[in-house]
């Protein structure tokens, strides 16, 4: 195996790097190789290298709605946050996969383009937002995504239309076909810049009032079950404030789990499973996780 640092001297590459340094929960084991491509060609070449060397590939965006198990991730982990250019043409905004979704909404507002206000406080990347059809306050990425440029597992660059992205609730075809999002284009409408900013400010104020933004978390942990509100179910089951290791069901919003004392990913996952068991038993409702859970379980020391 030819050394990856020799093959890609211009790419930032870290070995056995703890992913806790990058996730919003501040938890997660090490990546064998953590790489930060800065453009499409580097991403494509890294994918080809991994295929040649039989290395598994995992793509991570801003790691805001992600739990990495304490055993870490084998193979090659790509963080695309160095690919973060955002441009606007006419009534569209195009952003690279690693661009901040929040920054993308700000660029849209600066061009008096409306449609992305709902995402003004979502901390993920554009690629991650497409991956899970991110949404908030009645809006979803599916409503504004015009197209996406993706890199297929076979190394082919494709342009996908909104229809081909096959959006659903917290779902897109990216999850099914394991494509790597390279960029996305959003179709917006001309609006009043001040009114757009006022709406973004209002939504951000509402978010700050209701969500525990001052503590590490993975955002909303569970999908909303049909006919129910997740936070209300958890509250009524007496689970709000419950601590598990260093993790806690947020006292501010029961749909969030926060890291209050050096929590591990295992603390998070054990607490998630406990909540699911209690709600299933008491309400006959299965809470499905919205947060993406990846990586390996830790090796038990003998």
- Identify the active-site residue in 17, 64, 69, 170: 170
Q: Is 229 left (phi over 0), alpha (psi -120 to 50) or beta?
A: beta
Count the Cβ atoms, other than its own, within 10 Å of residue 116.
25
Residues 235, 239, 242, 244, CA torsion sign: negative
Instruction: Let me know if 154 is a catalytic residue.
Output: no
206 part of the active site: no
Beta strands in 61-204 (DSSP E): 66-68, 73-79, 86-89, 92-96, 113-114, 135-136, 139-140, 145-151, 157-161, 180-187, 189-190
CA distances to 18, 69, 123, 147, 209 from 188, in Å: 39, 38, 20, 12, 28
- Residue 170 appears among annotated catalytic residues: yes
Q: What angle do CA 159, 160, 164 make, to 5 degrees?
A: 160
- 299 burial level (CB within 10 Å; 0-12, 13-18, 19+): exposed
Contact 10, 35 (CB under 8 A): no
* Burial letters 133-154, b for 16+ CB under 10 A, else e: bbbbeebbbbbbbbbbbbbeee
Catalytic residue among 172, 220, 250, 292: 220
127: DSSP letter: H
CA atoms within 13 A on the CB side of 170: 13
Catalytic residues: 170, 220, 290
């Amino acid at each position: 195996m030819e050394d990856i640092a020799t093959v890609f001297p211009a790419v930032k590459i870290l070995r056995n790097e703890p992913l806790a340094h990058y996730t919003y929960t501040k938890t997660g084991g090490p990546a064998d190789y953590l790489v930060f491509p800065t453009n499409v060609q580097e991403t494509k070449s890294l994918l080809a290298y991994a295929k040649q060397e039989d290395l598994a590939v995992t793509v991570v965006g801003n790691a805001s709605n992600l739990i990495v198990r304490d055993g870490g991730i084998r193979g090659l982990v790509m963080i695309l946050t160095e690919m973060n250019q955002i441009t606007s043409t006419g009534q569209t905004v195009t952003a690279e996969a690693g661009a901040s979704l929040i920054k993308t909404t700000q660029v849209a507002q600066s061009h008096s383009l409306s449609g992305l206000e709902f995402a003004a406080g979502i901390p993920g990347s554009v690629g991650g937002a497409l991956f899970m059809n991110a949404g908030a306050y009645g809006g979803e990425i599916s409503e504004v995504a015009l197209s996406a440029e993706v890199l297929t597992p076979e190394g082919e660059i494709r342009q996908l239309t909104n229809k081909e992205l096959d959006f659903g609730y917290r779902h897109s075809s990216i999850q099914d076909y394991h494509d790597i999002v390279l960029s996305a284009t959003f179709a917006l409408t001309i609006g009043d810049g001040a009114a757009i900013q006022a709406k973004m400010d209002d939504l951000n104020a509402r978010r700050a009032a209701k969500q525990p933004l001052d503590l590490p978390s993975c955002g909303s942990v569970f999908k909303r079950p049909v006919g129910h509100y997740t936070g209300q179910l958890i509250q009524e089951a007496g689970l709000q404030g419950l601590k598990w290791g260093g993790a806690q069901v947020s006292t501010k919003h029961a749909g969030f789990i926060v890291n209050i004392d050096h929590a591990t990913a295992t603390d998070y996952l054990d607490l998630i499973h406990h909540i699911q068991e209690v709600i299933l038993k008491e309400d006959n409702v299965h809470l499905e996780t919205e947060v993406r859970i990846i990586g390996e379980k830790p090796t038990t020391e003998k």
